[in-house]
Amino acid sequence: MPKVSRRHPAMLALLLLVGLLLTGTAYAAIAPKQASATAVSAADAKKGEQLFVANCATCHGNNGLGIKDVGPSLVGVGAASVDFQMGTGRMPMAKPDVQAPRIKQEKFSDEDIADIGAFVAALGPGPAVPDAEWTDYTKGDPGKGGEIFRVNCAMCHGSSGAGGALTRGKYAPKVTGVEPQHIYEAMETGPQSMPKFNDANLSPEAKRDVIAYIKGQESAGNPGGNPLGALGPVPEGLFIWTVGLGVLVGFAIWLGQKSA
């Protein structure tokens, strides 16, 4: 039986195949796991499709592929994006605008939103609704969460999570008073101007720590008095210059009249 030379042309292809196989196996073993593995049933997706066509297709198309200059494609956004956008009342949008505001959601039940999410999830792989384990902020570390928040979030939302203005009429909404599940989903899906923090760059544990920090900010209250919008030194300085200095000037005038 003839020996196969190490320089045989087929050897290079064989080595490449073995290398790809080993690389794929190693990645599958060490790749970050999804925070949720919720199964999507065909029946839920079918009910969701009916709701989607009736309420969402005007902007996103009957098949969810989007309509040019009207609504983006929803392929790959996942059920987490649907739960965030519809659960916070941002979708369906009441009217076209630069940004969808958060409003009280009364039109759709939790089951309706889950069904629409199942339909959108069936369009293509995307982030799933997180398991309760990752939104239970009592298990998180607010200290670590504060570090992550100040590095990645505070430049838009403010260190206290009160929100702030962005460019072209957009704004970073306040993150206090928001349900933990929706905070997690916002980090996971990156709605509107917000960047995505998927499990590859911010683990489920880290997201839970961020939620713990935000909820800690809520419970801390305002021990220093009126927060003046919690927007930092600018409104505080404006208050001192207008109100504080005005009081001092008025007091000086009053003293001058007394001595006259």
3-state SS of 117-133 is: HHHHHHHCCCCCCCCHH
**Domain that residue 213 falls in:** 132-220
| pLDDT score of 37 | 45
**Cα 109 from chain centre:** 21
160-202 confidence digits (pLDDT tens): 888 888 888 899 999 999 999 999 999 999 998 899 999 988 9
| pLDDT score of 117 | 96
Distance CA(105)–CA(92), nearest Å, equals: 10
8 lies in some domain: no
244 lies in some domain: no
Co-location of 105 and 170 in the same domain? no
- The number of domains in the chain is 2
What pTM was computed for the model?
0.74
DSSP 61: -
The answer to whether residues 189 and 83 touch, using CB atoms and an 8 Å cutoff, is no
Co-location of 96 and 137 in the same domain? no
**Cα 194 from chain centre:** 7
Give the CATH number for residue 111.
Answer: 1.10.760.10
110 lies in some domain: yes
Co-location of 118 and 194 in the same domain? no
| pLDDT score of 229 | 60
Co-location of 74 and 138 in the same domain? no
Distance CA(15)–CA(160), nearest Å, equals: 55
What are the residues whose beta carbons fall under 8 Å from the beta carbon of 186, sequence distance 6 or more? 84, 175, 178, 194
Co-location of 169 and 216 in the same domain? yes
227 lies in some domain: no
